[in-house]
């Protein structure tokens, strides 16, 4: 199933997308419940997806056009405000910039991640204000898993039971800010703080079928900027697979429905990698249109708006000393 959060008027509702129509989850469930987004759907318990699928099958076998045209609803981020966003670095090809850099031993021994900002998420087709402080804005093509049940200290063998589905994550990154923060052995912080893009929906594992195998999602991925392809890769080839990420995220901690666990940038999924490959890539500018497509999931569009304020960025001149 494709689980989506849409808005009509001032109200948001979780639903299921079939072709070009959306079916209201609240109307399909066998027990009354308010489900304003996909997180609320998962909070109803692990049996909710089976309940939803049975009701949807019955609805489709009757009046096929009972859903609402998707174009009549505004797409929201599937999880309106995730409790946490853990963004891992699972792809050696990206981490080493195609073998240009040497990673420390710890990268190969354990999955590492940082916490991103759940308060600045943008949906499919939504304009993202260009960050005021950056002159080196980059995209990052990533896949995110949405947690569907609460757990602690989860073993890798059980980890896939905690993933409700996958969606697309564009981890916009201010490389100039990030570079300085990482030199201080702390971060990333403001280099990632301003915006991430998520959507268009969450695709459950049963619908992805054979694309999910060996703990990885074997989907083809592409990214275009203003219609020109800058990325063509795969969501497979992870050094640390999804069970390892879930196990690490829950070690001595909790994960809950709605948490995002992101695998990090696929190999070739950033602008410096595109430049190294000889593509006509450059850092992003206001007005650029970014389109990410992932096999089995769908398409996430992002438009970069105007810079938030004028100025020369964050490198202000030091005060004059007497």
pLDDT tens profile 83-131: 999 999 999 999 999 888 899 999 999 999 999 999 999 999 999 999 9
Confidence of residue 279 (pLDDT cuts 50, 70, 90): very high
Confidence of residue 32 (pLDDT cuts 50, 70, 90): confident
* 65: pLDDT strictly greater than 60: no
pLDDT at 187: 80
C-alpha to C-alpha distance for 178 and 189, rounded to whole angstroms: 7
* 62: pLDDT strictly greater than 80: no
Cβ 181 vs Cβ 190: under 8 Å: yes
Share of the chain above pLDDT 90, in %: 86
Beta-carbon contacts of residue 269 (< 8 Å; ≥ 6 apart):
91, 94, 139, 140, 141, 142, 221, 223, 231, 233
- Average the pLDDT over 31-57 and give the result: 93
* 21: pLDDT strictly greater than 70: yes
Q: Which of 111, 94, 143 is closest to 272 using CA atoms?
A: 94
Confidence of residue 63 (pLDDT cuts 50, 70, 90): low
Domains of the chain, each with CATH number or no CATH:
2-75 (no CATH), 85-307 (3.90.850.10)
- Average the pLDDT over 129-158 and give the result: 97
Cβ 73 vs Cβ 6: under 8 Å: yes
* 311: pLDDT strictly greater than 50: no
* 283: pLDDT strictly greater than 60: yes
Higher pLDDT, 268 or 133: 268
- Average the pLDDT over 242-271 and give the result: 98
pLDDT at 185: 86
The CB-based long-range contact list for 272-281 (8 Å cut-off, 24+ gap) reads 272/97, 272/138, 272/175, 273/94, 273/97, 273/98, 274/230, 274/231, 276/97, 276/98, 276/100, 277/98, 279/230, 280/228, 281/225, 281/230
* 294: pLDDT strictly greater than 80: yes
Share of the chain above pLDDT 70, in %: 95
Higher pLDDT, 140 or 308: 140
Beta-carbon contacts of residue 293 (< 8 Å; ≥ 6 apart):
221, 222, 223, 299, 300
pLDDT at 66: 77
Pairing of strands 298-307, 121-122: unpaired
- Average the pLDDT over 25-31 and give the result: 90
Average model confidence (pLDDT) across the chain: 93
pLDDT at 60: 87
Confidence of residue 4 (pLDDT cuts 50, 70, 90): very high
Question: Is residue 40 helix, strand or coil?
Answer: helix
Q: Write the pLDDT tens digit of every residue in 212-227.
A: 999 999 999 999 999 9
């Amino acid at each position: 199933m494709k689980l989506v959060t849409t808005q009509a008027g001032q109200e948001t509702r979780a639903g299921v997308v079939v072709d070009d129509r959306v079916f209201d989850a609240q109307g399909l469930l066998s027990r009354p419940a308010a489900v304003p987004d996909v997180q609320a759907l998962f909070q109803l318990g692990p049996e909710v997806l089976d309940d939803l699928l049975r009701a949807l099958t019955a609805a489709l076998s009757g009046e096929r056009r009972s859903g609402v045209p998707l174009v009549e609803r505004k797409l929201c981020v599937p999880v309106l405000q995730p409790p946490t966003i853990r963004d891992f670095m699972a792809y050696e090809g990206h981490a080493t910039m195609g073998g240009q850099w040497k990673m420390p031993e710890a990268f190969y021994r354990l999955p590492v991640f940082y916490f991103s900002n759940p308060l600045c998420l943008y949906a499919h087709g939504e304009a993202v204000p260009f960050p005021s402080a950056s002159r080196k804005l980059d995209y990052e093509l990533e896949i995110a898993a949405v947690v569907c049940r609460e757990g602690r200290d989860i073993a890798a063998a059980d980890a896939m039971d905690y993933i409700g589905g996958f969606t697309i994550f564009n981890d916009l990154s201010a490389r100039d800010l990030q570079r300085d923060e990482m030199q201080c052995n702390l971060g990333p912080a403001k280099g990632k703080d301003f915006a991430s893009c998520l959507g268009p929906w969450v695709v459950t594992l049963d619908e992805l079928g054979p694309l999910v195998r060996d703990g990885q999602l074997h989907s083809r991925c592409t990214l275009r900027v203003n219609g020109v392809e800058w990325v063509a890769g795969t969501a497979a080839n992870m050094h640390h697979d999804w069970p390892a990420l879930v196990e690490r995220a829950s070690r001595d901690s909790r994960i809950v429905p709605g948490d995002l666990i992101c695998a990090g940038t696929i190999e070739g999924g950033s602008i410096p990698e595109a430049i190294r490959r000889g593509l006509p890539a450059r850092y992003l500018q206001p007005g650029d249109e970014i389109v990410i497509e992932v096999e089995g999931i769908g398409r996430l569009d992002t438009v970069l708006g105007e810079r938030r304020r004028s100025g020369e960025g964050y490198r202000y001149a030091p005060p004059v000393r007497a």
